């Protein structure tokens, strides 16, 4: 282990008691049950709402990325719950499995191919701490820091935004940090007033494009809504990242305040949130998520060598998407 990593881990362990108190009791525990070929890797049990589970598929070799049964299970699980883990049974530092899987989803399941991250980056973005070597040249992305990253949807500033994203774990945080938390948007929206939900559905928000992700120098922001209700099943979808979101009307401002307050409520944390630690997403894991039905966040990174790789795909209009 790199000397910096050893020092970081030592500092972290001296504060382990504090960290354990900060992790809520619904952090994940593994389960070995099998459901329709999917292993429910992790379950959060609540007495008031259905259990939140992280289904898991195995990919023993690279050919699974083009196996129609495997690809079909991934597509169906993303449609059903919007969250899935794949455990790779082979080394894949170049993310060849993800590349082939996304092409298979495009060919056989109608998914749009991945979007580029910026004017200089293609499909993939490396999520790892960096103090000098930024992927966007002169701008450090928030994902390139060791700081926490509060609740957000990926790429909310894109028009149209990607429907799905995946994170491949190339090196998990060996010091106990970097927990990925995910929150169910439907359950969150149930805690909002009708007035707030109505305002969040209106295109009364300016969403600023972070400088590291600008593709067209002439476009620095977009105007849109935070919520969208799917007409086919009435589920709530979201695009939200507080630090780049500006309300343009009084009702939009009040609704945003109510949404931010709801994110902090204990009821939301207890019954709609799943915490995925390094033990749940070790090296060789990939988590695939519906970017609009789940918010996600991470706490502070403790291991300077933590390394994930991100890809976003199936960009389609926020106003007309159907699940």
pLDDT tens for 182-228 read 999 999 999 999 999 999 999 999 999 988 788 889 999 999 999 99
Which range (90-94, 170-174, 318-322) has the least confidence?
318-322
Pair of tokens at residue 21: 């108190």
What's the angle, vertex CA 165, arms to CA 275 and CA 143, rounded to 5?
70
Residue 56, phi-psi category: left (phi > 0), alpha (psi -120 to 50), beta (remainder): beta
CA nearest neighbour of 296 among 173, 139, 178, 207: 178
In this predicted structure, the answer to whether residue 307 has a pLDDT above a threshold of 60 is: yes
The owner of tokens 């195995």 is: 58
The crossing angle, in degrees rounded to 10, of helices 68-80 and 96-109 is: 80
Residues forming beta bridges with residue 164, ordered by sequence position: 290, 313
Is the pLDDT assigned to residue 140 strictly greater than 50?
yes
Tell how strand 245-247 and strand 205-208 pair up: antiparallel
pLDDT of residue 46: 35
Which pTM value belongs to this model? 0.81
Grade residue 17 by pLDDT with cuts at 50, 70 and 90: very low
Q: For residue 279, which phi and psi values (nearest 5 degrees)?
A: -65, -25
**pLDDT the model gives residue 323:** 34
**Does residue 238 have a pLDDT over 70?**
yes
CATH number of 3-7+30-315: 3.60.130.10
What local confidence, expressed as pLDDT, does residue 25 receive?
A: 35
Nearest to 153 by CA among 77, 57, 225: 225
Beta strands at 83-88 and 124-127: parallel, antiparallel or unpaired: unpaired
pLDDT band at 20 (very low <50, low <70, confident <90, very high): very low
CB atoms closer than 10 angstroms to residue 195: 12
In contact, 311 and 186? CB cutoff 8 Å? no
Rounded distance between C-alpha atoms, residue 40 and residue 29, angstroms:
10
Domain boundaries of the chain, sorted by first residue: 3-7+30-315
Of 5, 46, 36, which is closest to residue 187 (Cα–Cα)? 46
């Amino acid at each position: 282990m790199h000397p910096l990593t050893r020092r970081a881990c030592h500092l972290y362990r001296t504060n382990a008691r504090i960290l354990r108190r900060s992790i809520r009791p619904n952090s994940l525990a593994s389960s070995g049950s099998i459901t329709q070929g999917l292993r429910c890797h992790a379950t959060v049990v609540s007495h008031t709402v259905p259990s939140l589970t992280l289904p898991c598929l195995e990919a023993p070799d690279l050919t699974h990325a083009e196996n129609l049964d495997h690809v079909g299970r991934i597509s169906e699980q993303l449609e059903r719950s919007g969250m899935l883990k794949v455990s790779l049974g082979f080394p894949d530092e170049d993310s060849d499995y993800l590349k082939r899987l996304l092409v298979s989803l495009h060919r056989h399941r109608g998914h749009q191919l991945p979007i580029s991250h910026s004017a200089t980056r293609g499909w993939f973005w490396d999520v790892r701490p960096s103090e000098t070597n930024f992927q966007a040249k002169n701008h450090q992305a928030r994902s390139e820091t060791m700081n926490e990253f509060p609740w957000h949807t990926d790429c909310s500033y894109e028009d149209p935004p990607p429907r799905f994203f995946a994170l491949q774990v190339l090196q998990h945080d060996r010091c106990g940090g970097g927990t990925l938390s995910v929150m169910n948007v439907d359950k969150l929206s149930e805690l909002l007033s009708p007035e707030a939900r109505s305002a969040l559905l209106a295109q009364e928000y300016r969403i600023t494009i972070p400088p590291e992700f600008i593709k067209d120098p002439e476009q620095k922001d977009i105007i849109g809504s935070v919520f969208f209700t799917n007409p086919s099943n009435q589920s709530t979808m979201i695009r939200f990242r507080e630090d780049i979101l500006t309300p343009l009307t009084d009702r939009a401002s009040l609704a945003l305040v109510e949404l931010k307050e709801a994110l902090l409520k204990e009821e939301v944390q207890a019954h709609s949130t799943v915490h995925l630690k390094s033990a749940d997403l070790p090296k060789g894991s990939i988590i695939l998520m519906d970017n609009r039905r789940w918010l996600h966040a991470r706490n502070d990174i403790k291991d300077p060598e933590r390394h994930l790789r991100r890809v976003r795909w199936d960009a389609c209009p926020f106003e007309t998407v159907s699940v």
